[in-house]
Structure 1
Amino acid sequence: MHRRTAISVSAALLLAAPLLAACSGETRPGTAAVVGGERITTSALQAQVNDVRDAQNRSGQGSAELIASTPNLERQKLDSMLQSRIIDKMADTAGIEVSEKDIEEERKAYVAENGGTEQFEALLLQKGAMSPGQTDRFLRDRVLLTKLTAKYGNGKLEEPARTAVQALHIEVNPRYGAWDAKQIKLGAGETPWIVQRSQAEGAPVDPMAVPQR
């Protein structure tokens, strides 16, 4: 038995061509970004950053290394939030929904394949700078990407991603960087390609690693 696993923390590095010019306009005070006319506030972004820092500090002897490995955590978390909005838009356009049951099944599979909940959460923290409280969003993205791939075909998410990005009219507060028009991510961010692959049941899965092809 095999299950498809969407690999990577971000979601929209699906395109090779420029899709969206960086917006240099002024954003309202307290706004980190505007996506589809809705604000991502600086307080919401900071809450995610604080959650990660708290989890890193609780991680024990490796906490200093984890913190040192994420010097641009605000940008990284904002990029992750933006990528999730893009996935949501793609799913909405495709008429795809995700249920709590879907998320729980995905969680059970990841937990089983990575040796337990603690190990899975530690892996997400280390590889993707995600706190335990941010796991649900990660799993939701994975489920949606799998369903989108089932609908459009493996390697054929470019057009729905193009449509979603253009429709959202993303604006980013320059404090956090600027959109990379070629790769659809915040400049200087780490956004590996999304890869769909089959994984033998029972083999450990690194949800953040990009496998060799």
Structure 2
Amino acid sequence: MHRRRTAIALSAALVAAPLLTACGGTAHPGAAAVVGKERITVSQLEGRVNEVRTAQRAAARDDTQYQQAVARTGSLTRDTLHSLVLDRVLDRAAKNAGVSVTRRDVQDLRTNLEGQAGGAKALEGAWLEQYGVAPGRVDDNLRTNIEAQKLTVALGVDMNTTDGKAAFWAAMAQASKELHVDLNPRYGTWDVRNSSRVDAKTPWVKEVTEATTQRPA
């Protein structure tokens, strides 16, 4: 439960934090974004989006409910790309701080959340509905949540304070600069000097309420 409270506190603090937005100008044919030496291709992005749409279709009782789910996640492609990029920036910031996440860390958190949600299917349903995360990607998102928590500990910051938030996002900005994030203009911009709000529904940047994890799939 202590880990659970930590996750909620951190996520609530990050929801209003600035996005490391992009300066995408370089042409990268077929790439939705380039982060460091890694290309996130348009096909990879579309694959991720299709995973969510397939899961939404399977979870819907009928076509009307499916269309409602699609309408609620109308910006899914852009949100998914921003999440993919931001997660990679977090990975670099964590690496810079000597932070690592083990499989046991992820399993412990998942077991805890599944117990509160009422099982694996209920947790997967909640993540799909609230964050647009396909069932097969839940562990990846939990890992990122833990990584963000551990980064705050390594930095010695309190995300409930203005200074703590500033220090956390300064570390993220440094990581973003090192990676030279380049976003395809089709999906927006990424400028580390700009402060704009996180729009993507990413678990580690949005409050995870008790009702969310207890809602049935």
Q: What is the number of equivalent residue pairs in this alignment?
A: 195
User: Is 1:167 paired with 2:167?
Assistant: no
User: Is 1:114 paired with 2:111?
Assistant: no
Give the structure 2 partner of residue 5 of structure 1: 7
User: Is 1:182 paired with 2:208?
Assistant: no
Identify, as 1 or 2, the structure richer in helix: 2
Identity fraction in percent: 33
How far the C-alpha of 1:195 sits from its partner, in A, is 6.8
Among 76, 80, 85, the residue aligned to 1:82: 85
How far the C-alpha of 1:8 sits from its partner, in A, is 4.9
Mapped contact 1:14–1:161 kept (Cα < 8 A): no
Mapped contact 2:80–2:200 kept (Cα < 8 A): no
- 1:41-56 correspondence runs (5 A): 41-56=41-56
- CA deviations 1:34-90 (Å, max 9, x no partner) are 111321111111110010000010012232211111112110110110111011011
Question: Normalised by the size of structure 2, how large is the TM-score?
Answer: 0.78
Give the structure 2 partner of residue 25 of structure 1: 25
Give the structure 2 partner of residue 141 of structure 1: 144
Q: In structure 2, do the counterparts of structure 1 residues 28 and 51 end up closer, same or farther at CA, with 3 Å as the change threshold? A: same
Question: Normalised by the size of structure 1, how large is the TM-score?
Answer: 0.80
Partner SS for 1:29: coil
Q: In structure 2, do the counterparts of structure 1 residues 131 and 70 end up closer, same or farther at CA, with 3 Å as the change threshold? A: same
User: Is 1:124 paired with 2:135?
Assistant: no
Q: What amino acid sits opposite 1:106 in the alignment?
A: L
Identify, as 1 or 2, the structure richer in strand: 1
Partner SS for 1:80: helix
How far the C-alpha of 1:163 sits from its partner, in A, is 1.3
Dislocated runs of 4+, deviation >4 Å: 6-9
Aligned partners of 2:16 and 2:82: how far apart in 1?
A: 11
